[in-house]
Amino acid sequence: MSIDPLDRALRIGLVSISDRASAGIYQDQGLPALQEWFGLALSSAWQMETRLIPDERSAIEQALIELVDVAKCDLVITTGGTGPSRRDVTPEATLAVASKEMPGFGEQMRQISLQFVPTAILSRQVAVIRETADHAGLILNLPGQPKSIKETLEGLKDAQGKQIVNGIFAAVPYCIDLIGGPYIETNDAVCKAFRPKSAIRTKA
């Protein structure tokens, strides 16, 4: 008997893209930061697969295709490789495997980062959906630094905890709903998911 997609665990793929970290020159920070954040942010079940690869477009494309098509990840997040340098090719690789682009995510990521640094306009992060005959996955490019990862996902809050700027993850659960993935529930203290009232699933 097949499992209702609403009841299965969210499958997350994490891809850290760094020449030096993948070569063992220094320790990767992106994957541990993301694992810690999801551990705090998600209150529904989830599973995770990770990849640490160099800034090579073919390697990035292969990892993204494998995570969506084979591992059946509902959400794939990359860190690193989104700047203007010659080795930064994550957005190109992401767009190459896309079925459709989701430009609002990239726009909001830059708006969040611009609250901190004017060089946020140099960021080229994109978001896409990759579709196969029986599955779809949302792919998001995030920054590489742990502090920036947290800010991008959560957004900005004032000293009283009131949301000033929305993080991108607030829209992710509903997006996953719309592409046929499982129902994601979050820890509101970390990141409150937004859904239209008609899409909110009442607890039994």
pLDDT 10s per residue in the chain (204 long)? 445 555 799 999 999 998 888 888 888 888 999 999 999 999 999 999 999 999 999 999 999 999 999 999 999 999 999 999 999 999 999 999 999 999 999 999 999 999 889 999 999 999 999 999 999 999 999 998 899 999 999 998 888 878 888 899 999 999 999 999 999 999 998 999 999 999 998 765
User: Is 137:74 a contact under the CB 8 Å cutoff?
Assistant: yes
The 3-state DSSP class for residue 20 equals helix
Q: What pTM, to 2 d.p., does this model score?
A: 0.94
pLDDT of 1 reads: 42
pLDDT of 4 reads: 57
CA atoms of 8 and 57, how far apart (whole Å): 32
The CATH superfamily assigned to 10-199 is MoaB/Mog-like domain (3.40.980.10)
User: Is 68:76 a contact under the CB 8 Å cutoff?
Assistant: yes
pLDDT of 127 reads: 98
What 18-25 contacts at long range (C-beta under 8 Å, 24+ apart), as own/partner pairs, is: 18/52, 18/54, 18/55, 18/80, 18/81, 18/144, 19/54, 19/55, 19/87, 21/52, 22/52, 22/53, 22/54, 23/54
Q: Could you identify the residue written with the tokens 């340098």? A: 85
